[in-house]
Structure 1
Amino acid sequence: MVQNGLEDDCYIEMLNYTIDLFESQGLGIDYYGYHNINHELEITYVSLLAAKQKKIDFTPEDLKYLYVAALFHDFDPQKNVDKPHEESVLKFISMDRKLRQLINTAKLDLEIIKVLILRTTYPWSGELKTNAENQIKQSFQSSDLTRNNQPYQQHIMEIGWYLSVVDRISGYATGDFAKAMEMAKMNAHALAWRPSLIVRSAVAYFEELLNKETEMSKVILKVLPKEMRKNFFDTVLSFMKIRQQEIAIQADFSYENLKLIPTIECMSTRQDSNFAKALYEIFLELPRPLQFEKENFEQSIKDSHIIINTLRLNDKNGEIVGFSKGGPLEKYKLREEIRDENYGLGNTIFLEPLALKMGYWGLKGGSEMRHMFIMQAHSMKYKYLTSFALRDVIRSRIDKEQAEFVTLFDPERWDYYRIKI
């Protein structure tokens, strides 16, 4: 900020205000969604860090607009899905008295900030693009600075283009592949995607960025520090490599060179620490909100009240590529919003989210393990099974399994449900 002439109190105050707002609305560092405070600060940081690129000549005034737009571009406190709605963002920055006061102190035009935020609409195509362009025209007309100034309007649109590409690069340049994979899982979890889409969608995202936004992404990456460029390209290559592995697994499965065998694990196997270690590694691939009993993982594996099935390759002694796990509802500390009427009655078994290695989702192994788990729960005289699943998956089970929603969660749409066994 100081290097880019943003040392005045009003800019520091905006930064502090943004952090306070995100935290107070539950969108701080603990919010498990892609569009949290970390994302907002990364975009702001990288947009200033790469400002010396050679494509657009930023004036000191441009940098002020870029900073404010980057800082607030995704702030949508009333979100019912993780992906921010640009119109909600604009409504907030127009109505919030404190922010308006800070923008006035900085002598900035709110309409120009709106244009920059609207240009970050993604994808910039189809109806989304048309709607954004219509609002951009209105903002240009409403501003004394841009109303009859076509070259300046074009310049603002170029700054918006720059910000939109920074928006898509930043998170993957500011950390290694482990961070990038966590971000991809956060995005999938918050947008209620099936796990089989995570890597496929990431590859499509990067290919589109590097093919359709070559011109802008090149100049941004060129001025970023070497370590950040390395992070970005390592991430792209790693996702592509994993996608190749996924396709190879799917090919083997369709040629019947590979079989997935659901297996009931006996207690003697479950006492082996190597068995627990193999399961724990797969468990860690789950998004963080789906990692139940993490602290007591190994002890729970050895607990005879817990049901554990694995998914093995080719035979019941083969490599473990997934598992299902669960036990009496009373053994679990679930989200405090959940009020399960059966809690304490000993008649309900809780099935933790299924865990599979990347590449093995979508091959029906998960549903086979789930059915095996339900059969075991039935033999143990449980009346009900509860678990979490995507909202559309639960809806599809209403007729087949008499599933019922117990508690719904937004924006994730990853809900708590019950079936009668």
Structure 2
Amino acid sequence: MYSTEGEAGPAYKAFGEMLKRNVVAWTSMIHGYILCGDVGSVRRLFDLAPERDIVLWNTMIAGYVETGDMVAARKLFNAMPNRDVMLWNTMLNGHANNGDLAACELMFEEMPERNIFSWNGLIGGYALTGNFLRVLATFKRMLIEGTESPNDATLMTVLSACARLGALDLGKWVHVYAESHGYGRNTYLVNALIDMYAKCGTVENALNVFVNMSTKDLISWNTIINGLAIHGCGADALSLFKQMKRAGVKPDGITFIGVLCACTHMGMVADGFSYFRSMIDDYALMPRIEHYGCMVDLLARAGLLVQAVEFVNRMPVKADAVIWATLLGACRLHKNVDLAEVALHRLSELEPGNPANYWKDVARLKAAMKDTGRRKLPGCSLIEVNDDIVEFYSLDERHPDSDEIYKALDADLVVFEQ
């Protein structure tokens, strides 16, 4: 890298005359310094430029955005005489990628002109920060305003939100929309459809979408195998795994999570260990904590609690809270108090403030919660009502119609008791 301390470095001197009136060359030079991460030199070049067109401004601001310096980007953005929609989108996406949703929303509302990338930037920002209800609300607003039509990227983000929220009806609408607008052959979008149907519990729909795919990639196979396994369709998952190998698709670690999960639900301990060894010996895949967790769950569900603990002790990685919670749940199911105490002790070490780790009976749970000063998070349910997603917490009174809802529930309870 040329020195830029003091007077202009050799790069400036060598190209000075050539660059004086060539804005394209200035832009290329600035872009090169951006790629090298030298923002200081980039700004000096920008300030020395005898002429600045919109591309040069965009390049400079995008450089600040890429390095996460949104303060400098916004300052330069405000100083720019003419701002096009691409630059607005650059700023919007910069705020979204930095998790500043308030600035992202303000930028979106201030835009004099929006295109599909503007909507996707805002929707993507909500998805990135886990605000899936806002993803769906903004998508519906987009449809209502009707100035832009969703593209495949929009639909993929919305399908992911539907999968997280269990918004099956909207997911089905997206499916129909995708088919009618020619997105049905987009492998990534179809994979998102399979994932949405599987996570919403309609495994038959997920399987139908998979079977009718024109092109299947590794993600397609992984999504359907894991979806089937999670919902207890272990035999179908293992059958598809065999088909996958016959099709010449090489499985990866995610594939084997689904395979081991299928064995767990079917109680196939010997087969589970066989697949576990195959993953290592046949595919040179090093097991991760998730694979070890599947094996512990496989043994624990089968009632082989002693073997499960021995397996944990032989693991080359330290068992996490999920594994010990799995063992604790199995001990509760199989009434093994001694091993439950071991699991509870390890859980308390890993997550000393988590009240869900204190199990023996209700009185002990309450006492432990009182001692630690922690409260258990209330249960939350999501339900689709009139094309909208409604959130309900245990003993929730925030809903505007909560009085009528509780009256209706009380009336149903009286009828039930009679």
Bigger relative contact order (CA 8 A; separation at least 6): 1
Task: Report which of the two structures shows the higher radius of gyration computed on alpha carbons.
Answer: 2
Q: Same fold (TM over 0.5)?
A: no
Which structure is higher in strand share? 1
Give me the TM-score of the superposition, normalised by structure 2.
0.33
Which structure is higher in helix share? 2
